[in-house]
Amino acid sequence: MSHLSSSIALWRGEHVNFATLLALLEDQLDLFHQAKKPDYQMMLDIMFYMTHYPDVLHHPREDLAFARILELEATSRPIVDDLAEQHVRLKDFGGVLVRSLENIVDGSITPRDRVEVLGRAYIAEFRSHMRTEEEAILPLAAKLLSAADWAAIGVAIRHIDDPLFGAKGQERYASLRQQIAREARASQARRLSGVGR
């Protein structure tokens, strides 16, 4: 795979990972909504990751890619500005959710309904953000950015390994990784049993 298409594939792959986590988070909010017991520690692990990988690497790397796209295609300004603003908002929003979940896990008194409202709003905003990127910006990036542009972005950004999905996963995400693997097996089993009918 060329450097160029691998950059786009990596980008899309990260969105798939984030979508997996948002679905897990949504399942937990559904449990809460049904007055069942959600796994607050898992929700915190998910949001901790969202504020320590997407906010720290994925979005800053996009900001650089968007800036280069804007240099090459001036008409992309409104969408690039919107997406950059959403990065700032998602980061703030994610921080608020982490603090609320930390309070719950630590046993402080925190209105739990607020976590559901915030969590659902975060999920909706993150999904719509990724949808806009996939529909409007990834095709432009694929068309406009050269291998040299991607190399320059790679140099400009401080690289960190993905602490959850990366090869050297961090210990703090061990149980979240197991949960993701369990979900993947369960959904594969559902697909297989669907085919058998």
- Which residues contact Fe ion by CB under 5 A? 62, 133
* Between 8 and 96, CB nearer to Fe ion: 8
Is-contact 125 32, C-beta < 8 A?
A: no
* Between 45 and 133, CB nearer to Fe ion: 133
In this chain, which residue has its C-beta nearest to Fe ion?
62
The neighbour count for residue 38, using CB atoms within 10 Å, is 21
Is-contact 125 90, C-beta < 8 A?
A: yes
Q: How near is the Cβ of 191 to Fe ion at its closest, in Å? A: 27
Is-contact 17 100, C-beta < 8 A?
A: no
Is-contact 51 160, C-beta < 8 A?
A: no
- CA diameter of the chain: 54
* Between 133 and 162, CB nearer to Fe ion: 133
CA distances for 168 relative to 172, 184, 188, angstroms: 12, 20, 25
Q: How near is the Cβ of 45 to Fe ion at its closest, in Å? A: 20
Q: How near is the Cβ of 60 to Fe ion at its closest, in Å? A: 10
Q: Give the residue carrying structure tokens 């309070």.
A: 103
Q: Tell me the C-alpha distance between 70 and 56, whole Å.
A: 22
Q: How near is the Cβ of 66 to Fe ion at its closest, in Å? A: 8
Q: How near is the Cβ of 6 to Fe ion at its closest, in Å? A: 16
Nearest CA to 131 among 5, 7, 18, 9? Answer: 18
